[in-house]
Amino acid sequence: MQISHKNFRNIGLIGRPDKSSVVETLSLIHNHLLRIGLHPVFDSETAALVPDSRNTQTVSRSLLGEVVDLVIVVGGDGSLLHAARALVKHNTPVIGINRGRLGFLTDIKPTEVIFKLDQVLKGEFQLDRRFLLEMEIRSKGENIYDAIALNDVVLHSGRSVHMIDFELNIDGQYVYRQHSDGLIVSTPTGSTAYALSGGGPIVHPSMDAISLVPMHPHTLSSRPIVVGGHSEIKIMIRENRVLPMVSADGQHSVSLSVGDSLHIRKHPFKLNLLHPPGYDFYMACRTKLGWNQDFDSLQQQD
């Protein structure tokens, strides 16, 4: 897919204005876009709390991707995850400005926002296409719930301390029956999120792969599995003392009953994530995960 900066005229603005720093950055970007002759558009959720939005066009988040050529998300990775699920079907490119903690997805620093944004608007950017997962719950042969996730789909036991019993099949082949706290099914994007804390591998974003990471399995031999991105994953719920639950990207959890099946596969649309020049995934890992922390501190002491 070709993305040209020449088409960047209507620019969507999304954020979670629960912090003054997010509002400040949104206002800064909004005013800059007006100065350079572009047309900012707020999503209605963001506009409600940003003073500068009074005389600016606003649309619902679900429709924003239809009316803009580019979306700027201000906040943490969670804000971008939420925006991505609404925008992905429109193929709308997205830029992330970090006002959160880690910032693997929202990788532009607030202190560099105008400089980096201008680079992207001039066509100086790297296109990073990230795939999502789609899940559906089937009960007695009928689809009763579906959702999409950029990071992960997580089967878990809710607030209970009891393990859950489930059966895993991949591409129609039986893999195992497991007792554990659950299972994290992760995209490469999500490999540096919850799956990482569960002991899963870091998977480069360019890989066409899905990681399955058991959560506190009852057997020491249970290890993460990495499968092809086109794999069809099916999880059957067995008899349990508690109702297992499933969530996509940490959204609202939905309970599963005995005999229900959870189906997970690649979503047909990809997120078009734009990075300014100089973006480096390994540098992001070093910075966000502190890989060089001890070594760098020793060098400073020398």
φ, ψ of residue 296 to 5 degrees: the values are: -65, -40
Same fold for the pair 5-125+276-301 and 133-268: no
**Please, which residues have CB within 8 angstroms of residue 137's CB and are 6 or more apart in sequence?**
143, 144, 145, 146, 246, 254, 256, 260, 261, 262, 263
Q: How confident is the model at residue 159 (pLDDT cuts 50, 70, 90)?
A: confident
SS3 29: helix
152 annotated among ligand-binding-site residues:
yes
The pLDDT tens digits for 245-290 are 999 999 999 999 999 999 999 999 999 999 999 999 999 899 888 8
Cα first-last separation, the chain = 49
Question: What pLDDT shows up at residue 208?
Answer: 98
Q: How far apart are CA 108 and CA 52, in angstroms?
A: 22
181 is in an annotated binding site: yes
- 90 marked as part of a ligand binding site: no
In CATH terms, the fold of domain 5-125+276-301 is Rossmann fold (3.40.50)
Of 118-122, 166-170, 261-265, 298-302, minimum mean pLDDT range: 298-302
Catalytic residue (one of 52, 77, 128, 165):
77
pLDDT level of residue 161 (50, 70, 90 thresholds): confident
For the chain, the structural domain boundaries read 5-125+276-301, 133-268
Which residues touch 177 (CB under 8 Å, ≥6 apart)?
165, 166, 167, 168, 238
Q: Confirm whether residue 82 is marked as ligand binding.
A: yes
| 48 in a labelled binding site | no
pLDDT of residue 221: 87
Decide if 294 is catalytic: no
Q: What is the mean pLDDT of residues 116-123?
A: 96
Homologous superfamily, domain 133-268: Probable inorganic polyphosphate/atp-NAD kinase; domain 2 (2.60.200.30)
Which two structure tokens, joined as six digits, stand for 25? 């950055």
pLDDT digits over 29-78, tens only?
Answer: 999 999 999 999 999 989 987 887 778 899 999 999 999 999 999 999 99
Mean residue pLDDT across the chain: 92
- What is the rounded average pLDDT of the residues 89-102? 90
CB 242 within 8 A of CB 181: no
